[in-house]
């Protein structure tokens, strides 16, 4: 049963008073006050903008296309809890228009000769492999600073994020641009973070949520009597991701060698060119010239641009194997995920490697 909505006005007034102060107390001394001030104000803007989806749908003065998308979103939201056993709460039963195309912009940074991300630690989320900004210009400014310090840098645009159940997360206007199915996948992904989350292990958390998103979407389509989603496109996506992961593996081996900087730089550039050649060969020989990834491939490449693939996709095969071992039973699967998450970090990685190689 869904609990009734509290007064959002009262809730916002309480959070407006308590949240920024609590955040600053927790983070005092961790970094600049300005950075955490924008985090607090950005989150508060989002919270203040929330309204029940049911009220938006029932309001004939609201945009009919928006109302139609929200109707479909609530069907996916119910499916998430009833069939995928994801949290049944007020998250994604609220809507917020934040007036911009993305909710945050994440800045990823690595050393020039490393794929180890620059981590940033927070009281709620633990350590994550990026730094988020509610302003694109602020993200670009941070990226420029990191670049001047010799880091490889990339900026990722984010449609949604989870507060891990600390707040009732809304459907955002930034989640609406790619159609009803994409909206459903985002809901599945973000609710997975609420279902289980391990502090300080971005690869585990994002790969887990990505698997839940992908398997949840497959089941959502089957539930509605739809065919599998563009098998050829999914195969191409998986092949592209594997190309990126293979490139990461070769770079990791390269960076482990005791080479002079100039030689390392030359061989690094050669690996990126090899990736482009392999991509073009795959595209032209197996994809009938499908150019959907051309823009990404042809843009300047660096270590930081490869990071999200390692974070979001690294252990998806491991979670797929775990789901198979649970005979497709979501509750058994989550129980096994929780056992994995409870292992020490090194043991957890070994267990994931074993599962991925099964």
Domain count, the chain: 1
> What gap in Å lies between CA 333 and CA 219, rounded to an integer?
15
Residue 257 pLDDT: 97
Assigned domain for 162 exists: no
Reply yes or no on whether the pLDDT at 2 is more than 80.
no
Render pLDDT for 225-243 as a digit per residue (tens, 0 to 9).
988 766 677 889 889 999 9
Q: Give the mean model confidence (pLDDT) for residues 28-47.
A: 78
Q: Give the mean model confidence (pLDDT) for residues 278-302.
A: 95
Residue 289 pLDDT: 87
Reply yes or no on whether the pLDDT at 45 is more than 90.
yes
Reply yes or no on whether the pLDDT at 7 is more than 60.
no
Assigned domain for 206 exists: no
> What gap in Å lies between CA 188 and CA 80, rounded to an integer?
6
Reply yes or no on whether the pLDDT at 29 is more than 60.
no
* Model pTM score: 0.84
> Between vectors from CA 313 to CA 144 and to CA 30, what angle results, nearest 5°?
45
Residue 28 pLDDT: 40
> Between vectors from CA 219 to CA 211 and to CA 81, what angle results, nearest 5°?
80
Assigned domain for 160 exists: no
The pair of structure tokens assigned to 125 is 């989320």
Assigned domain for 325 exists: yes
> Is-contact 79 153, C-beta < 8 A?
no
Reply yes or no on whether the pLDDT at 358 is more than 70.
no
| pLDDT band with cut points at 50, 70 and 90 for residue 3 | very low
Of the candidate ranges 17-31, 212-226, 292-306, the one whose mean pLDDT is the lowest: 17-31
Assigned domain for 137 exists: no
The percent of residues above 70 in pLDDT, for the chain, comes to: 89
Name residue, tokens 């984010």. 158
Assigned domain for 121 exists: no
Domain range spanning residue 261?
231-356
Residue 6 pLDDT: 40
Render pLDDT for 168-195 as a digit per residue (tens, 0 to 9).
999 999 999 889 999 999 999 999 999 9
Annotate 176-208 with b (16+ C-beta within 10 A) or e (fewer). beeebbebbbbbbbbbbbbbbbbeebbbbbbbb
Render pLDDT for 189-217 as a digit per residue (tens, 0 to 9).
999 999 999 998 989 999 999 999 999 99
Assigned domain for 161 exists: no
| pLDDT band with cut points at 50, 70 and 90 for residue 123 | low
The pair of structure tokens assigned to 144 is 């420029």
Assigned domain for 43 exists: no
């Amino acid at each position: 049963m869904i609990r009734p909505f509290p007064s959002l006005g009262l809730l916002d007034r309480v959070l407006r008073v308590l949240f920024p102060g609590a955040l600053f107390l927790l983070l005092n001394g961790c970094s600049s006050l300005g950075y955490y001030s924008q985090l607090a104000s950005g989150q508060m803007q989002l919270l203040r903008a929330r309204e029940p989806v049911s009220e938006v749908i029932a309001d004939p003065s609201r945009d009919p296309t928006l109302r139609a998308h929200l109707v479909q979103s609530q069907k996916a939201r119910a499916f998430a809890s009833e069939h995928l056993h994801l949290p049944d709460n007020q998250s994604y039963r609220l809507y917020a228009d934040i007036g911009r195309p993305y909710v945050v912009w994440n800045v990823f940074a690595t050393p020039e000769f490393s794929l180890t991300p620059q981590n940033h630690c927070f009281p709620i989320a633990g350590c994550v492999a990026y730094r988020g900004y509610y302003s694109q210009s602020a993200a670009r400014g941070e990226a420029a600073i990191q670049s001047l310090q010799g880091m490889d840098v990339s900026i990722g645009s984010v449609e949604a994020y989870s507060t891990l159940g600390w707040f009732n997360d809304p459907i955002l206007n930034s989640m609406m641009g790619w159609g009803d199915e994409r909206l459903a996948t985002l809901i599945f992904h973000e609710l997975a973070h609420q279902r289980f989350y391990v502090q300080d292990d971005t690869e585990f958390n994002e790969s887990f949520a990505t698997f839940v998103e992908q398997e949840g979407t497959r089941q959502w389509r089957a539930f509605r009597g739809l065919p599998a989603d563009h098998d050829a496109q999914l195969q191409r996506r998986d092949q592209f991701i594997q190309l990126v992961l293979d490139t990461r593996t070769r770079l990791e081996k390269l960076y482990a060698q005791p080479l002079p900087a100039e030689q390392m730089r030359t061989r690094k550039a050669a690996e990126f060119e090899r990736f482009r050649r392999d991509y073009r060969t795959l595209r032209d020989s197996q994809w009938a010239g499908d150019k959907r990834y051309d823009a990404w491939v042809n843009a300047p490449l660096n270590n930081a641009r490869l990071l999200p693939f390692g974070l979001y996709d690294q252990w998806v095969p491991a979670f797929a194997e775990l789901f198979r071992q649970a005979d497709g039973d979501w509750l058994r699967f989550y129980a096994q995920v929780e056992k994995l998450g409870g292992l020490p970090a090194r043991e957890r990685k070994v267990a994931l490697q074993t599962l991925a190689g099964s």
